[in-house]
Amino acid sequence: MSRKPVHLAVYDTLADWEPGYATAYLARSGHEIRTVAAGSPSPETVTTVAGVRIKPDMSLADLRPEDSSLLILPGADLWDTGDDLAPFARTARAFLDAGVPVAAICGATAGLAREGLLDDRAHTSAVSFYLAATGYKGGERYVEADAVTDGNLITAGPTEPVAFAREVLGRLGAFEGEKLDAWYRLFHDSDASAYEMLES
């Protein structure tokens, strides 16, 4: 049985470093990564914060939860400068309502907070007061941790792309148990002894 693709949201000012570990190692474990951008009927080319241009695979308007195994929402400056990315947060709601996982990091967590998706779920972000500024009602569910998984929702702050990837890889079964722990120790802690476990 073939796997459903993983969908990576892309938009102008996307923080290049945040989804990289997750998407690279999902792809290495056999998951197809498809990029999704706003724009209809065809998606618009986007430019990341590093100036990298991405031609998306598909338009957000055509994305359906039932066709996906995961939606990844990276951070971007645009999450904090207006409502341009609100459609991605609404899509995250549709995914979670359908029981399909969503992984949000950095500014994307603020977008989910504004959408009300963090009010009743454990979560994390850059710092608690960053999310508090959105006016959301989930402050009591904020967790001081590198990354947090609550059911089908994964959240992390901007300095934790490796912890974010660990949760994503574990959620989709790319690595499990000792191998997942070894992957994290290698890339987070530079523990060379973990390499042998990964290669076994």
Give catalytic residues, as residue numbers. Answer: 106
Helical segments of the chain, H only:
20-28, 86-97, 107-114, 128-132, 161-171, 177-189, 194-199
Helix 177-189 crosses helix 161-171 at what angle (to 10 degrees)?
170
The two structure tokens encoding residue 119: 């009010």
SS3 state of residue 7: strand
For 86-133, the DSSP string reads: HHHHHHHHHHHHTT--EEEETHHHHHHHHTTTTTTS-B--S-HHHHHT
Q: How far apart are CA 102 and CA 170, in angstroms?
A: 13
SS3 state of residue 18: coil
Q: Is the dihedral of CA 133, 135, 140, 142 positive or negative?
A: negative
The two structure tokens encoding residue 145: 């941790």
